[in-house]
Structures are given as structure tokens and as C-alpha cells.
Amino acid sequence: MEIALLILRRIVQPLIRPGSTSKDVTYICPFTGAVRGTMTVTNYRLYFKSMERDPPFVLDASLGVINRVEKIGGASSRGENSYGLEIVCKDVRNLRFAHKPEGRTRRSIFENLMRYAFPVSNNLPLFAFEYREVFPENGWKVYDPILEYRRQGIPNESWRITKINERYELCDTYPAILVVPVNIPDEELKRVASFRSRGRIPVLSWIHPESQATITRCSQPMVGVSGKRSKEDEKYLQSIMDSNAQSHKIFIFDARPSVNAVANKAKGGGYESEDAYQNAELVFLDIHNIHVMRESLRKLKEIVYPNIEETHWLSNLESTHWLEHIKLILAGALRIADKVESGKTSVVVHCSDGWDRTAQLTSLSMLILDGYYRTIRGFEVLVEKEWLSFGHRFQLRVGHGDKNHADADRSPVFLQFIDCVWQMTRQFPTAFEFNDCFLMIILDHLYSCLFGTFLCGSEQQRVKEGLPKKTVSLWSYINSQLEDFTNPLYVCYANHVLYPVASMRHLELWVGYYIRWNPRMKPQEPVHSRYKELLAKRAELQKKVEELQREITNRSTSSSDRAGSPAQCVTPVQTVV
């Protein structure tokens, strides 16, 4: 991964405009103490390099990762290192720098940070619109919905592809291409949309290649306190059930705790009544909302950075409830996958609006069921399909370029998904083509604003902003460095279904991500690196063996041609691999 990052820095460098530089700044390192050096802020990154250490200490952070910047002390502040800046980051870090009051450099550094870390708040373009590197592959073409549905066997006698939303008029947060039951005409889809929150009707995410059981996703029904019903919506879910001949039942998985679903009735939302939807069983998965998750991550940051309290580590970790939330998400995805695989039953998945917890559950259950999504390119397709095209609100949840750090819409929804994927890679180390570095580079560029992949909050917005033409896809970069992100232990089992254990006993904190900034907690060299070296050595030795075997064969052939001459006899050589 280090090589990949060095290459990325080299190709970004020419685009970086000179910013403000302060030559006598002290970085207050929470691990090694105060470090004097030079601090530079450009239009893309914050760069600090020590003056007195050999090798020099270097701190390099993209401005997109900054959550907020605060001034510390005033011009009259006394005491060493009492005047400066504190930079709070989205990736757990807090960076503190001390300036000399008489130097008057803090102001220019602060102004440049506020200008370039929060371009949206300053009516400036994000850096992704300036980054124009050309890679061998165009990552914007990784996902083609028609090809992906064709891979799944769609269209068929039960499901059809519709372009009713090609102008995003049916639902402005859904993709242009949707898959719906074949017996539901487009006009009827409009009536179903009027009964679903934000028009997010049930549409197909995945179909089982044998049983034809399906995973469909949507938003909550607008039943309200009066218990409204929609004949079109009821017929629609019946059609989903009927498309699977192996089951006469359908499961509706509501991601929310039941008390939250009931509370949503007061806002006009709610959940499906089993009386109205015949042969349907409603299951609540008890996954909490974005506000609970945001608070959980805040608590996690407090215990992992900068210092870890060893004596109370386990109780402190438990108090964050982070792993408990991860467990509930994984357990929900496992229940969905099990109903489809073992129960051969179709499922409908939703939360409130269908773009947060729903995306977590559908994508994880598809990862459990379909080995294609466990490849590097398949995972890219999964993210493009279930997260990007179906309208996860990346702009609001991450806050790209926005200085309003207290925005209640921010939440680590996508981070939790990647954490769940990492938990699965721990339990099934040979089932995934990608390694930890792949997951970490995705998270780093979730924040960086270097690539256009995670910008905006819907397919419609990305098309309107012209992202595929004006920005570079993260997948372009990753697919040009595949060796850095490949798991050498990977074994391809295309039809193998995974059953992760969603138990607290089998889950652990992702130390390699959350605590990677602490030099005392750096994990040992990944076994993948050593394994790659051994594989390379084996390949080298295998090549030599094959060369020797060819040489022996050639000698044997030559010997048989001159069988009449005893002097030409060759003693066979036996090789052991």
C-alpha cells in the first residue's frame, strides 16, 4: 500500500497550487512530544516536515479529511505551545500545531485551511474537479447496470428492466434503470411510488440463480397514524412473491427498531401491516438510526485517540456500542441471506428512506450470497450499484467540503459497511480477492475529495454535475495498482455462500484502521506481504524445475535418436517439486 500511496502523491503533486507556509511551527505529537518543523497548506493537502530529526518526521493529510479547525489561545497567551491551531479529522485524528504569536503566520494558515478544506462553504470547486490524471482504465465504466442485471439473468419471465426513471421523474434518488415485476406496468409504478417514502418503490437488487428468490429494496410505506393502504402497493409485493415459485411467502425486513418504526407513523410513515399484505411476515432488525451511530463513533474516537487506557480498554470499548452496532448490521444481513438461500424465500428490505441501513443490509447480504461481489471488480460494482446508484447521501453523511461540522445529517453509515466487510474477511481469509489495504484506500478517499466517486448524493446529481466527464473515478486508480490490493490467499469459489458468525465473541475492533495513527499500536507486517514473497519464490523455483524438465526431455529425445551409440546414453534425472 505504501508504494500505491507514493505513486498517488507523485501524480497529484503537479496539480497542487502553492499555499501558505510557516517555517517555525511545532506539531504537538501526542505520542512523541513536540516536533519543530515547517507547515504548508496547499489547495489539496496539509504537509508538515520536521527540521531536527533524521530521518525527518512527516505528516501528510488531504484537506478533505478535515472536519473542523479551531484556534487555540490569543495573541497574549503565555506558556509554551499555548497559541496555535487544532485540526479535528474525520479519520479519528486530532492534529495540534503551535505557532509563535509574534510570527503572525497562524492567520494565513488558518485562512487557507478554512478556504481549501471547505470549498463548498466558500463557493469553490472540490479538488476532484481539478484532478485530471489519466489512467489505463476508466473507472466510471466499471458498472453497467444492463450488464450486471444480465449477469443475474435479468430480464426473465418474471422481471423486466424499465426506463421509466431515465429522467429521474419517478424518483430523483433512484437510478435511471430499474428492475420491476413483469406484470406491473409503468403507469402502476407511479401509483406505488406515491405510497412509498420519497417515491422509492420496491425494486430488485439481486436474484438467486436457482430458486429465483429475490432481494428487493425500497423505503417505508406512507401508512401514517390512520393506517392508510394502497391496493397497488399490496399487489406489487404480491407480484414479487409470485415471481418465486418455490415459496408462497415473503419476508419484509424493516431495519429499524420497532419503536422507531411506530414513531414514524406520526410523520406519515410506518411499516407494512401483515393484515394488508397477505402471506407477508414483518421482521424488525433493531438497527439504530444515523444519530445513534454518529454518537457511537464519537465515543470510539475518544477511546482510541490519542491515548488508549489499557486498564479499562475492554469496558471503554463496550461503552461505545460500536461493535454491538456492527453485530446487529451483520446479523441482519445474515438473516436476509439465509431466508433467500436456505428458505428459498423472497425478501423486501427497507428502513425509513431506504438509503442508509437498507444499503448496508442489501449489499452485505449480496456479498454473503454471491462470490462475484467478493472479487475486486465485483466489489466495485456492488458499491456503485447498491450505494451510489441507489442514492446513499454521501455528500450529507460525509460533509464533503462543508464547514458545518455539527450537521445532524452526518453519520458513519458507509464506514460501518466497510467495517462489516472487514469482519467478514477476518472470518473468511481466503474468500475475498481484496485485502485490508483495498478497504482502507476506499475509506481514505471517501473523505479526500480527490476522486469524484463518492461526491454528491444521487445518480441524478452526479449526472447533472458531469462527474464522469469532469472527475476521475477511484476505481481508475485502484485498477491500475491491483497488485497492491490483491489478497494472495484468495481462492475463487464462485457459488460458495458465506455464513459469518454475527456474535460479539467473533467480532473485533479494526485496529489496523482505527488505531493506525498510534505508533505504539501499529500491527505487525501483514502476513499477506510475506505470503506474496513466498509465492513469488515458489513461482521462480517452479520455473526452474520446468526448465530442467524440458532439458531432460530434450536430452532423452536426443538419446533415443542415437540409441545405437552406447556413449550417448544418459542417466535419467529425477526431480522432486
d(CA 439, CA 513): 9
Does 286 show up as a binding residue in the annotation? no
The DSSP string of 253-272 is: EE-S-HHHHHHGGGGT----
Does 353 show up as a binding residue in the annotation? yes
Do strands 66-72 and 84-89 pair parallel, antiparallel, or not at all (unpaired)? Answer: antiparallel
- The answer to whether residue 351 is catalytic is yes
pTM score, whole prediction: 0.90
Burial grade of 49 (CB within 10 A; 0-12, 13-18, 19 or more): middle
Does 354 show up as a binding residue in the annotation? yes
d(CA 56, CA 95): 18
Q: Is the peptide bond before 55 cis (omega within 30 degrees of 0)?
A: yes
Q: What is the mean pLDDT of the chain?
A: 91
Return the pLDDT at 131.
96
Does 24 show up as a binding residue in the annotation? no
Does 199 show up as a binding residue in the annotation? no
Does 20 show up as a binding residue in the annotation? no
Return the pLDDT at 526.
60
Q: Give whole-number Cα distances, 128 to 60, 446, 470, in Å.
A: 18, 12, 8
Place of cell 449489499: 363
Does 475 show up as a binding residue in the annotation? no
Domain boundaries, the chain: 2-124, 139-396+413-523, 528-568
Does 351 show up as a binding residue in the annotation? yes
Q: Which CATH class is domain 2-124?
A: mainly beta
CB 48 within 8 A of CB 122: no
Does 290 show up as a binding residue in the annotation? yes
First-to-last CA distance in the chain?
32
Would residue 111 be called left, alpha or beta, if left means φ above 0 and alpha means ψ between -120 and 50 degrees? alpha
Return the pLDDT at 536.
78
State the DSSP code for 434. B
Interval 379-390: pLDDT, tens: 999 999 999 999
d(CA 375, CA 95): 36
Which residue among 89, 351, 420, 437 is the active-site one?
A: 351
Does 37 show up as a binding residue in the annotation? no
Return the pLDDT at 525.
56
Residue ranges in the chain whose pLDDT is less than 50: 3-4, 6-7, 10, 14, 566-577
Return the pLDDT at 272.
97
State the DSSP code for 16. P
